[in-house]
Amino acid sequence: MVYTPGRGAIVLAAYDPDPELFARQIGSLRSQTVTDWECVITVDGDDATVRRVLAETAGGDDRFRVLADGERLGFYLNFERGLRAVDPGVSWVALCDQDDFWYPEKLELLLPHLAGAALVSGQARLVTYPGEVVTGRTDRRDLGPAMTLLNNQFTGSLCILRGDLVAPSLPFPRMSTRAAAHDHWIAALAGVTGGTRIVDAVVQDYVQHDNNVFGDPSRLGSGSPLAAIATAWRSARAFTERYEGSSDPVAMLRMLFRVYVGWRQLVAETVAARTGDPSTQIRGFGSERRFWPTVRLLRRARRNGHVAPRFVAEYLASWVAGALIGGRSRTRA
């Protein structure tokens, strides 16, 4: 089957962008060999920098549209707002960060793969900023729906989805946790509805900042189980203060559950509700999940190098937290 891309959309989520990097990214979009698209720039908060840089770098290019009302939504809901603004008739949608750099053939290379998948991703060169030191490249692997839900390999800024995936992806599942990620949700949905694919070709620079909300997953280190548990405790305490407004024991258990097991439970159940056909590959993450099948999945993932020991320890701690607070019925915020 030959895939002929029609008109598409690029959803670029922006928040207080560095003017130099933002200008460079806008220039890289305008240099794409595929040109039939609209770019929806959805601004989280103040839009002054975005509008100024856009006027300086792409003035007169009517393919760019700014969506801003001054409200702070956070990156997750900002991407949702951008997808809501996309023309429902588009053939494809590319997700975009404000400070990466797309290679000119990115869209041309990835779009044909949508003939056999609902979501396609490439690889990226990892570059620090400031300093622009090349630290390596991503090594994303499409491991199937179950492993994608367990440990997401799809980074939003590398992804293009078919236009018919937008409607079922909205609204995004709601949960008050940093674990809620637009790319994880969309990849899980795509894996069940139309399939996913990762192309082993570097299609952009992925800029790594010290304050990235999420960076490259390969940065997740390994270590001893005791060290992993200690790290999990510190992370849970920090997350609880931010998202629950308290660090009392019940709030900490609630947050620890939501970060791992709870978020995946919500995704699995939302996929089932949206599609009407729950996949057996992700059903085990829903409210009917069982402990020992989960342990076997974690063992297999660890044995195959898909997750680090720290992840296994944190996931099991999250399971125990959920059991203590009755988490099977508490996935929503």
Distance (Å, rounded) from C-alpha 7 to C-alpha 35? 9
Domain boundaries, the chain: 8-208, 220-329
Helix and strand totals (H; E) in the chain: 13, 9
Distance (Å, rounded) from C-alpha 235 to C-alpha 11? 31
One of 3.90.550.10, 3.90.870.40, 3.40.190.10, 3.30.470.20 is the CATH number of 8-208, namely 3.90.550.10
Coil, strand or helix at 324: helix
Q: What is the tens place of the pLDDT at every residue in 60-96? A: 999 999 999 988 989 999 999 999 999 999 999 999 9
Q: What is the tens place of the pLDDT at every residue in 150-176? A: 999 999 999 999 999 999 999 999 987
> Which pLDDT does position 4 carry in this prediction?
66
| Unique residue bearing structure tokens 């996929």 | 271
Q: Which one, of 168, 173, 171, lies nearest residue 191 by Cα?
A: 168
Sign of CA dihedral 3, 4, 7, 13: positive
pTM exceeds 0.95 for this model: no
Q: How many CA atoms, within 13 angstroms, populate the side-chain half-sphere of residue 228?
A: 18
Q: Which one, of 49, 180, 22, 29, lies nearest residue 95 by Cα?
A: 29
Kindly report the number of other CB atoms within 10 A of residue 2's CB atom. 5
